[in-house]
Amino acid sequence: MPEAELLAGCEVDHIISRKHGGLTDSANLALSCERCNRAKGTDVGSVVGPEQAFVRLFNPRIEEWSEHFQLTGATVESKTDIGEATVRLLRFNSPDRVLQRQVLQQVGAYPIR
């Protein structure tokens, strides 16, 4: 999401929370919107699939967004288990967020190129 479109802007988030031993250094920090950061909390992963296997969340420092997600219309779809855990836990497709993406798409402001 373009930072300019966020009321609260972005904030720096620990990818692996300090609670789980994550360090406060650039390799473990990412710029996050407030909503994603609040939804993530101190989580480092979630469970997916019928076997409820634990998978870690997407790490923007070591992975490409397009490996794990695709944009279909204004909905972020997962392509992998990591993507699925991240989409669900961070609530990427809550109705208001999809609507926000739709509006930004209509004015050419999403996705960022």
Burial (CB < 10 A; 0-12, 13-18, 19+), residue 48, is buried
Minimum distance between the CB of residue 55 and Zn ion, rounded to whole angstroms? 19
Using CB under 5 A as the binding rule, whether residue 36 contacts Zn ion is answered as yes
* Contact in structure between 30 and 37 (CB atoms under 8 Å): no
* Sole binder of Zn ion in the list 15, 30, 33, 48 (CB under 5 A): 33
**Contact pattern from residue 38 through residue 77 relative to Zn ion, giving x for each residue in contact according to CB under 5 A and a dash for the rest:** ----------------------------------------
Separation of alpha carbons 43 and 82, rounded Å: 13
Q: Side chain identity at 71, as an amino acid letter?
A: L
Binding site for Zn ion (CB under 5 A): 33, 36
